[in-house]
Chain A
Amino acid sequence: MSLKSAAAAACVALAAALPALAEIDAPECVAPAQPGGGFDLTCRIAQQGLDGAFDRPIEVTFMPGGIGAVAFNQFNTTRTDDSNAIVAFSSGSLLNIATGKFGTFTENDVRFLATAGADYGAVIVRADSPYADLGALMDAFKADPGSVVVGAGGSVGSQDWMKGALLLKSVGADPRQMRYVAYDGGGDAIAGLLGGAIQVYTGDVGEMAAHIGDGSMRILAVLAPERLEPPFDAYPTAKELGYDTEWTIMRGFYMGKNVPDADYQAWADAFAAAYKTEAYRQARESKGLMPLELSGPEMDAQVKQLIGELRDIARDAGLIQ
Chain B
Amino acid sequence: MVDRIFAGLLLAVTLGYGWLAFAVIRAPFQYDPLGPESWPRILSVLAAICLAGILWKPDVERFDTRGGTWLRLAAIVALLIGYAGLYEPLGFVLATLLFGTVAARLLGATLVRAGAFGLATGVLGYLLCAGLLDLNLPEGPLPRL
- Interface of A with B (CB < 8 Å)? 1, 4-5, 7-8, 11-12, 14-15, 26, 35, 61-62, 156, 176, 178-181, 318-319
> How many whole Å from A53's CB to the nearest CB in chain B?
19
Chain B residues with a Cβ under 8 A of chain A: 27-31, 78, 81-82, 85-86, 88-90, 136, 140-141, 144
Distance to closest chain A CB from B142 (angstroms): 12
Pick from B30, B31, B90 the residue with the most CB of A within 10 Å.
B31
Q: Is the CB of A15 within 8 A of B88?
A: yes
CB distance from A149 to the nearest CB of B (A): 10
Q: A1-B78, A4-B82, A61-B136 are in contact. Are A156 and B31 (CB under 8 A)?
A: yes
| 8 further A-B pairs in the complex, CB-CB below 8 A; given A8-B85, A12-B89 | A4-B85, A5-B82, A5-B85, A12-B88, A15-B88, A15-B89, A156-B27, A156-B29
Q: A179 touching B89 by the CB < 8 A rule?
A: no
Across-interface contacts of B31 in A (CB, < 8 A)? 156, 178-181
User: A residues within 8 A CB of B85?
Assistant: 4-5, 8
Shortest distance from the beta carbon of B70 to any chain A beta carbon, whole Å: 16
Contact partners of A8 in chain B: CB under 8 A: 82, 85-86, 89
In the bound complex, what is the Cα–Cα distance between A35 and B134 (angstroms)?
12
Q: How far is the CB of B2 from chain A (nearest CB, A)?
A: 26
Cα A7 to Cα B88 in complex, Å, equals 12
**Nearest CB in chain A to that of B85: its residue:** A8
Bound: A61/B89 CA distance, A: 16
Smallest Cβ-Cβ distance to B135: which chain A residue: A35
